[in-house]
Amino acid sequence: MKTKLIAVLAILCYYMSNAQTAYRSYFGESYTKWYILYDGYSCPNTFDFLVCSNRTEIINEKTYWKLFEVFESSDDNPINSMPANESTNKFLREDILTGKLYYRYKIYSDYGSSYSPDILVSDMTLKVGDSVKLGNININFWKNVVKTSGGNYYAIVDSVYQKNSLKHIRTSALFSSKNELFDNDYTSLTFIEGIGSNLSPILDYDGMAYLSDIWKLICFVSDDSLTYFNNKKKRNLPPLICDVGVRNINEDFFSAKIIPSKILLQFHYPFYGEIRLIQLTGSLLYQRTIRGDTEHTINTINYPNGIYILQIIHNNAITTKKIILN
């Protein structure tokens, strides 16, 4: 009896140790937005991919989230910024156990409509050396992709790592654009847990035979939380982009550098909010209101060495960061 009990416990321990842990969902409880910068027709512009939790469709007994494209919206409410008829031909579904995101689109013809097969556009189980099939890419925008005899293009995974508590899968494939606003340099195609690729949520597929422009993910907002922001070039982006309804700022939004007698704050886009520096005792040492600046310096020459709390306040939410002066 004792031997059987030990065997059962051993089996349970094995399965528990090998049990799958769910990845972060790609979708928020209320809504999710991917802000996209695209370079098409020699005129860089922006649009949003939007998913709302109450906008779904059942396809082959599986639940898909409707994916809307929203152009030139400045509405503070993402629900209200959807097209009036709420029609779309794009759909997403996820498997959070594998971190896989699937895309499919509706195909129209003289005989009616049908759906494309599922297209895998993000996969958190990828390992170094695995390949990722790309869509009908414009090869003029790409480097380091593999083309098969069948004419398909693939990217090869070259590293897997954690950043900001999210799994990142980077490939050797590089994409760029010919426009300075977009980027003259090349960017590694990377997949991020709970976000998708740094191209777009549908990678480079659009249901078209040929995608003539190039996309790039600028920021990702889920349930009023900004969890990804990429504006290294300090682009002159349209007003309100990446700031629509955001109340919680991830540290990717800003950086804090400790230099002699100063704290240098650098924001990735014009920041509107408040900055505070607080002692561990709770005493407020520094407080400033910022209106559209991308940099701010706190003079610390009169502050003793020690640990301080930096607070960044934006839309009534507070992001904190520990600062050590020595």
pLDDT one-digit tens code per residue, 65-114: 999 887 654 444 444 444 444 578 899 999 989 999 999 998 888 888 88
Domain spans, the chain:
31-229, 248-325
Show the tokens assigned to 247: 């109340």
pLDDT one-digit tens code per residue, 240-276: 345 444 444 445 567 888 888 889 888 877 777 889 8
Q: How many CB atoms lie within 10 A of CB 80?
A: 9
- Where is 12: in which H helix or E strand? helix 2-17
State the pLDDT at residue 252.
Answer: 57
Bigger pLDDT: 252 vs 303: 303
Least confident range of 38-47, 193-202, 275-284? 38-47
Phi and psi, residue 253, nearest 5°: -70, -25
**Residue range 248-325 in CATH 3.40.50.10240:** no
Instruction: State which amino acid sits at residue 47.
Output: F
pLDDT at residue 175 tops 50: yes
The C-alpha angle 169, 171, 176, rounded to 5 degrees, equals: 120
State the pLDDT at residue 241.
Answer: 44
Q: How many CB atoms lie within 10 A of CB 9?
A: 10
The pLDDT-based confidence of 204 (bands split at 50, 70, 90) is confident
